[in-house]
């Protein structure tokens, strides 16, 4: 299927007995979101969370929730989707900034919602990460800090790498 296949279809039938018609709507829900990375910004405690999702239907917004590991208090927010321009029209990449406490491990979930308020599939993998302390980066050289940020990106992608290897 392609995104252009979504929509209303009307079927009409007629014979000696009469005539009838019916309309069906073909809809699609987004697939599960895959978190790509959680990286610190230059602002203390502010992190950029990036994810991707495949969806035949246009993504309208995302539900983002996160909590400290072991805590029942969950922070929730809705992130509007940015209109996507790509060849397939089905691949979406998005990000948002969140305030986190450095040194704490967080559990993050993201769920895409298609136009028409159709929620997508839940994430297949739990995403946990420990918020690093960017303040200590000021004491490091730029090369060391860039190496640390790269390592955090690789670590944040491990669930996807492990799933791909299975």
Whether 87 is in a domain gets the answer: yes
- Give the domain extent around 88: 28-134
Whether 62 is in a domain gets the answer: yes
Question: What confidence tens digit (pLDDT) does each residue in 6-62 have?
Answer: 888 999 999 999 999 999 988 888 999 999 999 998 888 899 999 999 998 889 999
Could you give the CA distance from residue 93 to residue 91 in angstroms, rounded to a whole number? Answer: 7
- Torsion from C-alpha of 118, 121, 127, 131, nearest 10 degrees: -10
Structurally, how many domains does the chain consist of? Answer: 1
Whether 71 is in a domain gets the answer: yes
Could you give the CA distance from residue 51 to residue 158 in angstroms, rounded to a whole number? Answer: 14
The answer to whether 118 and 62 are in contact (CB under 8 A) is: no
Whether 98 is in a domain gets the answer: yes
Which residue from 73, 31, 79 is spatially nearest to 52, judged by alpha carbons?
A: 31
Whether 161 is in a domain gets the answer: no
- Name the pTM for this structure: 0.68
CATH number at residue 64: 2.60.40.10
Whether 162 is in a domain gets the answer: no
- Half-sphere exposure of residue 50, counting CA atoms within 13 Å on the CB side? 11
Whether 73 is in a domain gets the answer: yes
């Amino acid at each position: 299927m392609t995104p252009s296949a979504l929509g209303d279809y009307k079927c009409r039938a007629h014979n000696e007995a009469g005539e009838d018609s019916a309309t069906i709507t073909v809809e699609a829900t987004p697939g599960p979101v895959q978190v790509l990375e959680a990286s610190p910004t230059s602002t203390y405690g502010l992190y950029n969370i990036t994810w991707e999702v495949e969806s035949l239907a246009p993504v309208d917004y995302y539900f983002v929730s996160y909590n400290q590991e072991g805590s029942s208090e969950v922070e929730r927010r809705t992130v509007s989707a940015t209109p996507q321009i790509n060849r397939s029209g089905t691949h979406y990449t998005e990000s948002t900034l969140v305030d986190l406490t450095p040194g704490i491990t967080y559990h993050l979930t993201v769920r895409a919602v298609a136009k028409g308020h159709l929620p997508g599939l839940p994430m297949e993998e739990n995403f946990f990460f420990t918020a690093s302390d960017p303040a200590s980066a000021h004491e490091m050289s730029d090369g060391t800090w860039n190496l640390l940020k790269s390592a955090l990106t690789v670590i944040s992608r491990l669930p996807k790498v492990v799933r791909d290897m299975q």
